[in-house]
Each structure stands twice: as structure tokens, then as C-alpha cells.
Structure 1
Amino acid sequence: MRILLLGASGFIGRHLETALVDTGYAVVRASRNAQGQGDVQVDYVHDTAAAVWLPRLKGIDVVVNAVGVLRDTVKTPMQAIHADAPKALFEACVQSNVQRVIQISALGAGGRDDLAYMRTKGEADAHLLSLPLNGCIFRPSVVYGHDGESATTFRRLAALPILVVPGRGEAMLQPVHIDDLCAAVMRAVAGEASHGIVHAVGPQAMTYRDMIACYRAQGHSRAAWVVPMPWVLMGCVAAIAQYVPSSPLEPDTLTMLRAGSVADAAPFERLVGRALRHPNTFLMG
């Protein structure tokens, strides 16, 4: 079986490629900076017509779309990358008789039109579900992996003796391990997931404050001193941080954090086929 993997150079894409190859699938990598032999170079900003995708789908059985950006900029417009290009791809999949399409979205996608990330992800999800395709959409909460940018940030915060938390640290999250997400995607690739949306969440919903404390407990003997920062002040910090290119913090990500990201884990666990990894084991390898 040949798999076209979009976003192969990203955090989730890298792990999916390893899982797919280990399972025995032939993977065709698609990314903005194609480097390896057989890789497909894609311009997600401009490849918004189905005709552009058709040649790339020759001989492809399953498409996995793991493309995503966290900053909506002139160079990385979310409307094109998250919505217009995937919609064109999905339409091309119909014309090419692709067996299955797997979309990596986000928990809460389509629920907030004022947030470009959620609006554009939701637009692509809705289009996929409207087509005569076997489409499976995974909507993860915070995804943990040792090489993930957010995980690295959380580990660094957990190592600090003083932890400043937004608000009282009460925002609810449900971190899921990248291994569990990959295991679920493998089941979907094999045709063991039904058409529709799967909330990819870990087994335990927890506050932001408890999540950081959970990570700290796995590497430090003493709890950190927690300092609450009012949301208004945190918003001012985010407004400034958005001008720092490497900063994961900006107004929209802060809004998404405050809104929370939780769901029922039981359907996802049934798809994975085993107990999900608990956050208190994430730093143990």
C-alpha cells in the first residue's frame, strides 16, 4: 500500500512516517522542502486547485494530511494551508479513487470563527466529510512527544523553580502522547476506523497547572512555586510575544488555551486498542 504523507517534515508527520514505514507501508513524503529521492515538493500556499494534485496521486492508496501552522502570516496563510489546499487535495482524491483520506485536525476545529486556526481546520474537515470519500478526521488535544515544540516548552517550564501560570492555571487540557495518535492513525490507514471525526485525547483531563506539575514530578523532587498571572496581563504579554518569531505565544494561542481542550477519551482508546499513556509517564520514554 502506498501512502502520500503531507507535512512529513513536521513533528506529527515525522512520527507518522516512522510508524507507517515500520508497519510496512510505502511512504511518499510531501513537504514544502522536499529533499529525499521520491519526495514530492508542495506549495501549500498556492496549490489550491485539484488539477495540481492529480499527478501526485497516481498509484496512491491512502492520503494522510498532517500539515499545520500555528502562525497566520503573509508567508503562512492559514486559509490556504489549512483549508484551500486540503480541499483541493480532497477533491482530487475523489477523482483519483483514493481509498482513504486521514486528516489531522484539532480539538475544537470549526467551533470558533474568530480564531483562524480553528476556523480553517474546521472548513477543511467539513469539506472532507461532505465528499464521497472514506475520510477519518483526528482532532487531537495537546500532543506530547519529546521532539515536539510544545512539549519542549512545557518541560522547560516544569524545570523552573518558579512557574508563572495564565490566570490561576485553570485552563483544561487533555494531553495525548504522539505514540497513541500514531497507533490510531495506523488503525485508520488499515481501514479499521469509520468515516467521521475522532477526538484524539489522552486518558486524563487536567488543568494547565496540574499538567506542568505532572511533568515536573517526573524529574524533580520538589514542587515549583506557582505564581498566577491575570488573564488581562497575560494578554498583554501575548500581544508583545507575537512579534517574536520563535515564540509559541500569541493572542490566538492564548485564547485557545483559555477555552480548554477536552473530550471523552473512550472512543479513541477503543480505536487504539490498548490503554492510553497517562501524562505521568510521558517523560519516561
Structure 2
Amino acid sequence: MSEVAPGLITVFGGTGFIGSQVVQALARRGWRIRIACRRPDRAWKLQTAGTVGQIQAMRCDAADPAQAAEAIHGADAVINLIGILYETPGRKFEALHVGVSRTIAEACAVAGARLVQMSALGANPESDSTYSRTKAAAEMAVREVKPDAIIVRPSVVFGPGDDFLNTFAKMAQTAPVLPLIGGGQTKFQPVYVGDVAAAIATAIGDTASDGQTYELGGPAVMTFEDILKLVARETYREPGFAPLPFPVAKAIGALAQITAVVGIKPVLTEDQVVLLQSDNVVSDGAAGLADLGIEPTGIEAVAGSYLWRYRKGGQFAAEKAAA
């Protein structure tokens, strides 16, 4: 193990769900953090994660090579967390996953900065999913110019503010039936956002991680049906569960994605249905959380701490029922 003394680190995508947790993990380890983002005003809440002056935000369009290079100038290390889960007219998988990743990697190579690249479990250049295919292409683009880059591939990530359990919990509030897409037997290995952040902060703090690829999954493999039933339990709801064939789900996703054109997050997209046709679990023998000294957090230990808001009686629904 070759520990790195914390210096200046640039985090692209540091204001998002995972990014905010990564910034906090880095701050605890003593890094000085520069958050490069399109909207610096969204980073104000992270100022309290460190000491005075430890965390600063700067405006940056990472698609612009000059702006990316400016954001990286003087940094010892860089973390690229930029990514999208669905496309909009102005934000495409190819541009944000592949183009931006290549731009950041090239700037890191020139600056001599170490790099962590966020990818996704199941990234596959031959996938039918555009999301999965461009995540794999981003990895290859980064490796071409930064062979020593650290690749991190998490499974679906859960935690307060996620678009995973929260989405299903909102559905359970109003829908009498939850859809088991493709029969609900697709396997996942949900990983806690705090563990993902700790893994990234640990990897960038150890040169032995350079050039490594880490697959991050939680302690349990769950089916899609298992996850929906967990959401129902934690929200004290009793919805029905009905199989939804993949072709029907794809048609619904294609229609739902139209909302993205007007800036509304789609409940489901056709590409996400394609992703659901393949299991999303850590590969046998892959380096992961254990190799970084992190014990994974179970989904049951965390889900109730933020899904309570979807209960009919709120946080104290169980106590009220008992009374």
C-alpha cells in the first residue's frame, strides 16, 4: 500500500447524489477540493463538509477542453463523476459519457494528475443499451490516454436522495400495483452511496490502485421483485405485483421518455428496460470493496432511514399504529 498525502483534487460532478458524498469523504481525509460544475451555486451546501477554504466551487463546462484544463490546473488528482441516466435534447450519452471523459483524461495526462473514472457495473461495448455501451466506450477512451486511471464500476446505488428506491416508493404511494418488469427476476447487487464514496476516496489515496478496475456491489444479490417488496415493507404499503413483459415495458418506456423533451424526468425509458434484461452483479474474481478495506452496508440497514417519508403516517407511523 502506497498512501498519497492529500493535496488538491478536482471533482467533476461533485454536486450530484454520489458527488456530494465523495466530496465529504475526501474532506474527511484532508484533501483540498475544487468542485468543477456548470452551476457553482449548487455547491454551496457542501461548504460545511470541510474547514474554511477547504472546498471551493468553480464554473466549468467539462465538454470544453480549455475549461476542463483550467479546472485541473494545479491539481494532484481528479475524479470524474459526470454521467446521465437518460438523454434529453441537449444531453446525450455519447457526448457526456465518452466525449467529456476523453477530454478530462487528456487534460489529466497533460497535467500529470491521477484520475478516477466513474463507470457502471455491466458496462459492455456490445450491449444493446446505449447507456451501457457508452460507459464502456468511456472506459476505453480514458485508458487510451491514461492507462493508470482508476475505473470504478458500481451496481445500482442507494441512499438518501437516490433515483432508485425513491422512485419505487413514490409509485407505491399511489399505484395499486407495482410492475415486475420482465417478470422481476433480474438480479442486482445494490451498493450504498457512502460505500461508493469511501471506495473512491480510498482508491485515490493509494497509488497501488492506479490502473485498477473496481466493481462495487453490496453484501446481497437481490431480484427486482425483492427490491420492490422491500420498498413496500419500508413504506408500509400493500401494493399488488404484476408481471410486465419486456416488450410492453419497452413500449411504455419509449412513450415515457417523451417527457424528457420538456425537462420532466421520465419514470422509465426504453434504454433502462434494455438494461433490466441483464443481471447487474459483481463479476467473479473482480476487485471490489473488500480490496479497499470497506465492509459493504446492507440495503435493509439504510432504506428505512429515508423511505419513511412515503408512509401514510410519516416517520412515526409504526409507533402510531402500535399505540
Same-fold call, TM cutoff 0.5? yes
Matching residue within 136, 143, 146 for 1:122: 136
Query: Over alpha carbons, which structure has the higher Rg?
Result: 2
CA contact (8 A) 2:246 2:273 kept: no
- Tell me the TM-score normalized by structure 2: 0.79
Q: Which residue of 2 aligns with 1:162?
A: 177
Q: Can you list the C-alpha shifts for 1:38-87, whole angstroms capped at 9, x where unaligned? A: 4222224x42x4x5433322220110001011222330022221111211
1:134 match: secondary structure: coil
Q: Which residue of 2 aligns with 1:202?
A: 218
1:106 match: secondary structure: coil
Q: How far has the Cα of 1:30 moved from its partner?
A: 0.9
Query: Using a 3 Å threshold, how does the CA distance of structure 1 residues 102 and 132 change in structure 2: closer, same or farther?
Result: closer
Query: Using a 3 Å threshold, how does the CA distance of structure 1 residues 101 and 33 change in structure 2: closer, same or farther?
Result: same
1:270 aligns with 2:276: no
CA contact (8 A) 2:69 2:107 kept: yes
Which stretch shifts more, 140-149 or 124-133?
124-133
Name the CA distance, whole Å, in 2 between partners of 1:59 and 1:7: 19
RMSD, aligned CA: 2.3
CA contact (8 A) 2:26 2:201 kept: yes
Q: Which residue of 1 aligns with 2:103?
A: 88
1:70 match: secondary structure: coil
**Fraction of identical pairs, as percent:** 28
The aligned runs of 1:3-22 (5 Å cut-off) are 3-22=9-28
Q: How far has the Cα of 1:259 moved from its partner?
A: 1.6
Q: Which runs of 5+ in 2 are unaligned?
A: 1-6, 45-54, 306-323
Query: Using a 3 Å threshold, how does the CA distance of structure 1 residues 133 and 233 change in structure 2: closer, same or farther?
Result: closer
CA contact (8 A) 2:153 2:213 kept: yes
Name the CA distance, whole Å, in 1 between partners of 2:141 and 2:250: 33
Q: Can you list the C-alpha shifts for 1:104-126, whole angstroms capped at 9, x where unaligned? A: 11112233354322222212211
Q: How far has the Cα of 1:157 moved from its partner?
A: 4.0
CA contact (8 A) 1:12 1:178 kept: yes
Name the CA distance, whole Å, in 2 between partners of 1:144 and 1:207: 15
Q: Which runs of 5+ in 1 are unaligned?
A: none
CA contact (8 A) 2:36 2:71 kept: no
- Tell me the TM-score normalized by structure 1: 0.89
1:137 aligns with 2:151: yes
Q: How far has the Cα of 1:217 moved from its partner?
A: 3.0
Q: How far has the Cα of 1:128 moved from its partner?
A: 2.1
Q: Can you list the C-alpha shifts for 1:203-253, whole angstroms capped at 9, x where unaligned? A: 211110011212333443x76421112222222211211112321411001
Q: Which residue of 2 aligns with 1:39?
A: 57
